[in-house]
Structure formats: structure tokens, C-alpha cells
Structure 1
Amino acid sequence: MKIKLTSFLLFFLTSLLSWGQTPPKPNIILIYTDDLGYGDLSSYGATKIKTPNIDRIAREGLRFTNAHATSATCTPSRYSLLTGEYAWRKPGTGIAAGNASLIIDPQQLTLPDVLQKANYKTAVVGKWHLGLGPESGPDWNGEIKPGPLELGFNYAYILPATADRVPCVYVENHRIVNLNPKDPIQVSYTDPIGKEPTGKDNPELLKLKPSHGHNQAIVNGVSRIGYMAGGKAAQWIDEDMADVLTKKAVGFITENKAAPFFLYFATHDIHVPRVPHSRFVGKSGLGLRGDALLQLDWSTGEILKILDELNLTQNTLVIFTSDNGPVLDDGYVDEAVEKLNNHQPAGPLRGGKYSAFEAGTRVPLLVRWPGQVQPGVSEALVSQVDFLKSFAALVGQPVTEEQAPDSFNQLDALLGKNKLGRKYLIEQSLNNTLCLIQGNWKYIEPSDGPKINKNTQTELGNDPTPQLYNLQPDIGEKKNLAATNPAKLKELATLLNLIKRKTELLILSYKLKKYKI
């Protein structure tokens, strides 16, 4: 009895001493996937495919049902994530070409900047797609800068853009990996280069044929967007991409296990072209898209496994989410549609990648931090634009409103301590149609854009008349309530316009800095 009482007193005193104390700075791993839909994971209700490693994060952490990327396409979502600023506020932040210059000003505060100031080792591994180099464009055969290292990352191992765009090479820090100076790279997004074969003229050379576009330079039997010549030794092999990137991510974790680190692991799966490793091909029963999803689950499992092996699990905050919603046929004949087998990539949501409807930007979000995040489900309204100020609060770094104008400290919501989250958020579709969500209400501003993306068969949500939906009973956005709720329509339209007017001041600020006025 005396032993039990002593143990209890020790436990009580330890708990009392630790109560109210800030936990040590955790390692932070952000797994940022590509084109993953709200309904693609078994933890979000998928029944035709199993994602056990990703589901582990959901089981041991917090699963969000109302989390959003800022845009229905990749480049603007990534811009907002890293800068804390909505991409639609800054010109030139649409889907970046493979030879685009860096679209983030190195003078602008970024998420890795914040963590670097807090003595974190920072790395980006995977898809970049935010441009590289000065305004004239990247020097592919020399030093490729400015880039991630000028934005707060200590280490970078990246795809310059996406796997369906040239150049099809990896860039480590400031240089292309394995580039032979005697075989320099040439890249063009306007005219063919020399006598290099193309998917359009040489379909017999292809192992994966294009369905629309994607018929220019051929690399590894797959035709891409843009033209490329040279750099043969540096060209990637699509089937090995997940292995290469995952190995680099695991290596960074291992090398920095003794100090706090931040890893932005931007996987390429399940973006096109879907060319998974042979060990995954045919395993999902859902075609190459499903196989690539299994590959993504494997990559996630490797990250969790190394954390376990190095005893880092307890003090590592793992966040898993996506840059936008799902798409099936996005440019290649890979049977994503034909072998869907009743799988619902968007779950109950309407639209998909590119769309103003919810499936464009409402994405999976899982947060795990053992001992700090209580496992469960959160309905809090959260946006990826808030990661910057939330992480800043976590590590005790001040950030001004000017530095991250659209980011709010939502750390309590991300850790499950606040059940409500944001008061409102903005969503951006492909053609820059903006939507505002406040509570259960969603307003989609009038737009003259097309209603259907004919290539992908995605409903885009554009309409010349305003749209208003109550998402609580109508998460599928089937009933437009604009005509019957004029007061709510006016309220949300007014709020959106007020938020948009801030853009004029920000654009003026950019011009003043650019011309040193």
C-alpha cells in the first residue's frame, strides 16, 4: 500500500511540475500529396482501396473533415502554403511552366524561413512547381538559383515542376543531379528542339499514350508538356521516382535526428503521368491511379517507420494533406476512368481538381503528435494558408500581418484544442473564380468561365449568376439558395469583396518594392 501511495505521489508531482509547460519543439513533417481526393483514403470512407499507413496517422491522430487547400490547382496552393498569402493576390502565380522563374520573392517571409529562425534544419523533397531562377529563367546547365535554398530551406531535392513537364530531371540544391557537362540540357516551351522525337509524331515510342496534350518531348517512354534535349544521364525513371524521393526524405530525417527538423515531403503521387513501380502495378484493382495511391501509402509508411526506428515518433508532428482535389483523366490513357470500380475519389463532394465546387479544395488533413494531439475527428474549418502563422506560434517566432497577410494562428484548431477553427476562408478555382465559406454557408462569385473542363470532364462551378449553398445539409452543393436567401448572399458577397480589395494595396506594395520607389 505504501509503495502504491509513493508511486501515486511521484506521478502527481511530475504531472504538477509539467502542467502548463510548453512541450519541447517538435520535429515537423508535412507530407503534401498531389491530386489526392477527399474520398481517396480508407480513413475517409473509401471501400475499394486500403491505405493502411496513411490510416495509421488518422487512427493515432486527428482527422479533419472541413480542411481546405487554398486553390483547386497545384502552384497557387503551394504558394499560399509557403507564404501565408492567397495566391490570387499576386499576379503570375497560376500553374507554372516547367521553365518558369521563381514566383516567390526571396525577400518574402516563408514557412521554412520561420522555422529556420527557430533553429530548425529544413528540407524540401519532391515536387516544387514554384519556378526556379531569376526573371530570365533558370540556367539548367549551371547554378539554378534563386530557389528553395533562398526561401529558407537548408536542403532541397526536387522535381522542378511536375513529372508531366520538362525538364525531367532532379535538382539537388542548386544543380541538376548527374548532369554531364558534355551533354547540356535544352528546354523549350514554344518550339521543338532539333530532331528529338515527340509523342505527337512518334507514338510508336510510347509506353503510356496521351489522351489530351502531353504529346511533346519523350522521356522514359512517356511524352510530356514542353520540349527537351540533352541531359540523358540526368533524366529520371518514372517507375523509380517514389523510391528516390522517399529515400532522400528518410535520409534527411536520419541525418538530422539529433536536432529539430522540418521536412516538406511533397510527393508526386498520384499526379499524372502515373507510372508506379512494378511492385505496385496491378495491385489495387483500380488501374494505374489506384496503384499510384498504394505507392503513396507505401512512401508514407516509410516515413512513419523511420520515426519509429529512431525513437522520434513521440516528438514529431506529422501532417498529411493534399494540394487540391482529385482528377481521373488528366492527360494520359491510364484507365483511371475505366477501372474506377465505383471508387469515389471525391467522396460526397461535387467537382474535382480545377473546380470551384468543394471537391476542388476540400482535402484530407491528418495531424498526429502523440501526447499532444488527442486522436479523433475534427469539424473545425481550417486552411493551409494558416500553416505559416500556426507553426510560427508553435516554435515561438513572431510574424507580422504584412509578412503573411492571409495567415492566422490556428494552432489550437490543428492540435484539436479548438473545435471551430477559422471564421471564414477563401477558395480559388482554375480560372480564378473565388468562393467564400463562412460557417455552413458557401458563396461562389459569378463567373463567365466554362462550366465543364472538357478534357477532364470536371464540373468547374462557374456560372454567370451567384451561387449560395448551405453545406451542412448539402455538402454536395446541389441546391443553389441564392434566390431564396438574398440577405445571406449579400452578406457573403460584401465580405468577399472587402477581402479582395486588400489585393489592390498588396499589388501596389509589390510595384513599390520592384521599382524601389
Structure 2
Amino acid sequence: MFCLFFFHNNKRSKWLYAGTAMKSSPALFFATFAAFVFGVSATAHAASKPNIIILYADDLGYGDVGCYGATAVHTPNIDRLAKEGLRFTDGHAAAATCTPSRYAILTGEYAWRKPGTNILPGDAALIIDPQRTTLPSMLKGAGYATCAIGKWHLGLGTKDTPVNWNGDIKPGPHEIGFDYSFILPATGDRVPCVYVENGRVLNLDPKDPIEVSYQHKVGNEPTGKENPDLLKMQYSHGHDATIVNGVSRIGWMSGGKAAIWNDQEMSDTLAKKAVTFIEQHKDQPFFIYFATHDIHVPRLPHPRFAGKTPLGPRGDVIDEVDDAFGQVVAALDRLKIADNTIVIVSSDNGPVVDDGYKDDAVQKLDGHKPAGPFRGGKYTSWEGGTREPFIVRWPGHVKPGVSDALVCQVDFLASFAALTGQTLPEDAAPDSMNVLPALLGESKTGRETLIEQGGPLSIRQGLWKLIVAQKAPPKKPMALEDHDRPVRDTGAGGGLQLFNLAEDIGEKKNLAEQQPDKVKELQALLEKMRAAGRTR
């Protein structure tokens, strides 16, 4: 009778988790059952609610990590997690650019469904509705302490109430479910170049107020465009406004001198905040969304990493982000909570080499392939745009190995709801699939279909992929393997493009003319999914 009561009242998510628990461990199943029904046992509580840490790099490509084939960089910490966990070969971000990927990972909704979710300026309003269910709010409801550290780039404030950088900054991370936040408001190359901790600019002197504009120059600070002689790193395109720490940024800023971050110390600063949160919450379930700035531009590694790789600053900050991840993992080991912690490593989109600064990244590639065997990278519709390093480690629960299951970051919300016994509202996470068995290595299959957001949308069905046509062709021919932004091969403008990834992982042979029925099938499926407003 108790079993019938349990399954009836906890509905789909808890049924799915119970099935997963029974498969992986009968003891875990019965401990979870006791916790759900009787609300007792600290052991069962810990077993059913492991800590969850998402180590989220920025612009890190599939081929930028040692365990995915890189040899010119040093990623021992990521490689260790791959060796001790499950390394996915078909794991994806939801988009080939940062803001939409971050929107999807936290909301469980493809960003292309909501207008205004493309790459945001640094003064944009919050694009996530505080009333909706999010990954942190769901886990908070499950008893987790929740934390966001690092790059935000999802907007702050509202359209009706723009951010006052000199006062309380909200809505923001707290309003969508994070108990603690220490963030960059947007990106490292966008003003304001300050940290925001729990809704206030860190170290702000009230006598030196901050002013920010993305429409016109404010204050008397020199700009890169007007004073290139003051720059320690020249820009290649864009990035010619206010100079901060010898680097010109996107947008104009004045004031806030005491609050300006140190670019070279940023990686350590963010890692230390994550470690401190772990130390403070080691005795309760916690969730950390650790979104590093590396390897995004401007690439300004700490002196202990500068010059450590033959790839220049881009390679050096890959070493640096690996070190930051290592600091977090070392804290888990030191506090003896690694066995009760799920650690996920991934990136918000594929790689980009020249993304606005002259840092020798293009000149020093020297055979290194940031996207590995895949075509394209950041901003593109090719596999290199969304297929990322994707690693899941949970000692004692996830068997080490390699999986070719199709999984996406948009699925974390539904999957972790199932894991922690939470029932999602019907209108929540419309595109998030429960792929928990795949994430835990209990199933060799994940999603059947995936919509990838690059330039035009593309759809994956198994190993078939269709990139839909765009109206305007590219203005000039683009080199197949060139990652330099001004001449990037985006996948746009090529008409309908169909690829069989089982035989053509590099997306070089367009089969659209030879396979018209498959094209029509995938077009119809894509339109059905778009019109439905949800895929789960």
C-alpha cells in the first residue's frame, strides 16, 4: 500500500528517479523511498540529493581538452574527471553563442523560442522571468543551497527599471533561485568591469559612482579608438570603447575605480569564491553554477600561466581554466565529499580564435584544432558550434567510460528534477528531457532529436542533421576550417543542407539533393517542434 501511495502522489519525476535508483542500487532505492514517505534519515537525504556542480567554461572547444585529443595544452584536472567519470562524445550546448546557451541551461527552454535572448549588451534587462521554474529554483525547492559564480550575461534589472550600478541591482540571480551570487554582469570584454556580489557592486566607493552606456560615450575615460597608444592589447574588430586595465572594451563606462576587477586575477578570484561556498555548505546539499570567464576574450592569463603553451594567450587560459576547475575538485577531496558530488564539465558554445583582439591566437594555432574533428565553432550552425566537452563524474554511481548518447545542457533541469524527486509544473522546462539514465551511464541512448541554434536552426535526428535555409547567402566565400571571425564559415546561406554524421562527421558532403525524403521528414519534424512550443 505504501508503494502505491508513493508512486501515485509523486508522479512522473519521482517514478523516473525511483526506477533509476533501483537499477543502480537497490539500497539507494529503499533509502530514497524512506526519505520520500517518512521524511527521515540523513543518510537517505544525502543519497538522494547529491551535491551538483556545473563547471562551465566559456568558448572552450571540443578539441581544446586533452581527453578529447588536444596535445598543445595541459588539462590534467579535466582529464582526471573524464578518467573517473563518463565522457560524452555527442554532448551539446543548446546554442552556438553564450547568452542563449545560458538561458537554456537555467530554464530548460530553447532560447530561440523567446525574442531578445541573443547575445546581450552589458546593460540589458534580465531575460529570465523570475516567476518561472529554473534549475536553481527547482533545486532550492528540493532543499539545496544554490550559488552562481562567474559570467552571467543574462541581463539585470527590468526594461522599466534599468540597473542602478550604485545601488541594489535586481532582479538578477537571487530572483531566479540563487541564494548566493558573485558574478560578472555580462562578459569580460563588456563594461561595467566590476563584480556584483549578491546584488551590489563589490568595493564600490559611493563618492565615485558608476555610469554605463552602450549608446554614447560617458565620462572622460580614454577609449581604444581614440587612444590606441594606451593599449597593452590591440583590438582587431569592435572592442574600441572605454579602456580598462589597458584593454579597450565594448561600451562606455566612467567611475567605479575602486571596484574595477583585475583581469589577470579573475580566474583565481572566481575559483576561491566557489571553494568558499563549498566549505560553508559541505554539510547540506548544494548546487554551484560555476561559469568561468576563460577562455573568452580578452585573454589575460595570470603570470603563472602566461607563456606556458605554444598557442599564445588562448592556450594559456585553457591551462588556467583547468586549474580553476582543479581548485574546486581539490576542495571536494579535502572535505571528503567528492563521492556525494556530481561534477559536470562543459562549455557554453564552441571555440573562436580571433574574437576581437590581436592576441596571436590565429597565428599560433600551428595545427591545433579547437573544434577537434568538427566543422565550425562559435556563432556557426556546424557541429563545432554546439558539440562540447561534456563530462559527468559521480564516484560510485557513474561508471567511468565513454558514451555516444545524444545529450544537451537544456536537459539538466528535467534530469535533476527526476534525480532529486521533484515534480515539474506542466508549463516548466518545455524543452528539457529527462536523460538521467544517459547522464548516469545506465543507458546508451539519450535524446532522439535535438534542435541546435547557430545561425539558422538545425535539427538532429539520431546521426542525421538538417541545417535549414536562410534567405540571404553569405557575402563572400568562407574557408572551411577558418575560425577567424571576419571570414568565419557559419553554415548560413547554403540552402538546405543535409548530413549523415555517421559517415561524414565533418559535414562536408551535403546530401540534400540525394535524400529529398529525409529533408522533408526533418523539415516537417522541425516545424512541428517549433509550432508546439515545447518538445517534452
What TM-score, normalized by structure 2, do the two folds share? 0.89
Aligned residue number for residue 414 of structure 2: 389
Aligned residue number for residue 257 of structure 1: 282
Letter in 1 for 2:464: W
Letter in 2 for 1:494: A
CA distance in 2 between partners of 1:175 and 1:192 (Å):
24
Does residue 171 in structure 1 map to residue 201 in structure 2?
Answer: no
Letter in 2 for 1:398: T
Pairing 1:350-429 to 2, within 5 Å after superposition: 350-429=375-454
Is the contact made by 1:326 and 1:360 (CA closer than 8 Å) also made in structure 2?
yes
**RMSD of the TM alignment (CA)?**
1.5
Letter in 1 for 2:341: T
The alignment partner of 1:403 has SS state of coil
Is the contact made by 2:271 and 2:324 (CA closer than 8 Å) also made in structure 1?
yes
CA distance in 2 between partners of 1:289 and 1:437 (Å):
31
Aligned residue number for residue 496 of structure 2: 466
Aligned residue number for residue 52 of structure 1: 76
Give 2:513's match in structure 1, choosing from 478, 483, 488.
483
Pairing 1:217-296 to 2, within 5 Å after superposition: 217-296=242-321
Query: CA offset at residue 191 of structure 1?
Result: 0.7
Query: CA offset at residue 209 of structure 1?
Result: 0.9
CA distance in 1 between partners of 2:399 and 2:118 (Å):
37
Give 1:76's match in structure 2, choosing from 71, 75, 100.
100
Is the contact made by 1:212 and 1:455 (CA closer than 8 Å) also made in structure 2?
no
Pairing 1:31-50 to 2, within 5 Å after superposition: 31-50=55-74
Is the contact made by 1:328 and 1:456 (CA closer than 8 Å) also made in structure 2?
no
Aligned residue number for residue 330 of structure 1: 355
Query: CA offset at residue 186 of structure 1?
Result: 0.4
The alignment partner of 1:388 has SS state of helix
More displaced stretch, 44-53 vs 353-362: 44-53
The alignment partner of 2:64 has SS state of coil
Change (3 A) 1:238 1:449: farther
Query: CA offset at residue 49 of structure 1?
Result: 1.9
The alignment partner of 2:452 has SS state of strand
Give 1:299's match in structure 2, choosing from 301, 324, 336.
324
Change (3 A) 1:503 1:350: same
The alignment partner of 2:56 has SS state of strand
Is the contact made by 1:327 and 1:456 (CA closer than 8 Å) also made in structure 2?
no
CA distance in 2 between partners of 1:162 and 1:234 (Å):
16
Is the contact made by 2:242 and 2:251 (CA closer than 8 Å) also made in structure 1?
yes
Is the contact made by 1:25 and 1:394 (CA closer than 8 Å) also made in structure 2?
yes
* Identity across matched positions, percent: 60
Aligned residue number for residue 9 of structure 1: none
How many aligned positions are there?
489
CA distance in 2 between partners of 1:333 and 1:58 (Å):
33
The alignment partner of 1:196 has SS state of coil
Is the contact made by 2:353 and 2:484 (CA closer than 8 Å) also made in structure 1?
no
CA distance in 2 between partners of 1:473 and 1:37 (Å):
22
The alignment partner of 1:39 has SS state of helix
What TM-score, normalized by structure 1, do the two folds share? 0.92
CA distance in 2 between partners of 1:469 and 1:400 (Å):
37
Aligned residue number for residue 25 of structure 1: 49
Give 1:109's match in structure 2, choosing from 133, 144, 147.
133
CA distance in 1 between partners of 2:201 and 2:472 (Å):
39
Once the two structures are superposed, what CA deviation does each residue of 1:443-466 show, in whole Å capped at 9, x if it has no partner? 000013554597343210012521
Query: CA offset at residue 400 of structure 1?
Result: 3.1
Aligned residue number for residue 86 of structure 1: 110
Once the two structures are superposed, what CA deviation does each residue of 1:440-487 show, in whole Å capped at 9, x if it has no partner? 100000013554597343210012521100001101000000101111
Q: Which sections of structure 1, spanning at least 5 residues, go unmatched?
A: 1-14, 506-517
CA distance in 2 between partners of 1:454 and 1:57 (Å):
31
Is the contact made by 2:362 and 2:484 (CA closer than 8 Å) also made in structure 1?
no
Give 2:209's match in structure 1, choosing from 184, 187, 209.
184
Give 1:441's match in structure 2, choosing from 438, 459, 464.
464
Does residue 207 in structure 1 map to residue 232 in structure 2?
Answer: yes
Is the contact made by 2:353 and 2:485 (CA closer than 8 Å) also made in structure 1?
no
CA distance in 1 between partners of 2:366 and 2:318 (Å):
15
Is the contact made by 1:450 and 1:460 (CA closer than 8 Å) also made in structure 2?
no
The alignment partner of 2:360 has SS state of coil
The alignment partner of 1:350 has SS state of coil
Q: Which sections of structure 2, spanning at least 5 residues, go unmatched?
A: 1-24, 33-46
Aligned residue number for residue 4 of structure 1: none
Letter in 2 for 1:434: L
Query: CA offset at residue 372 of structure 1?
Result: 0.3
Once the two structures are superposed, what CA deviation does each residue of 1:334-369 show, in whole Å capped at 9, x if it has no partner? 000111121110000001100001000011100000
Query: CA offset at residue 84 of structure 1?
Result: 0.4
The alignment partner of 2:520 has SS state of helix
CA distance in 2 between partners of 1:413 and 1:16 (Å):
19
Letter in 1 for 2:96: A
CA distance in 2 between partners of 1:463 and 1:384 (Å):
27
Aligned residue number for residue 485 of structure 2: 455
Change (3 A) 1:226 1:16: closer
Query: CA offset at residue 35 of structure 1?
Result: 0.2
Change (3 A) 1:165 1:450: farther
Point out 4+ residue stretches in structure 1 off by more than 4 angstroms.
15-22
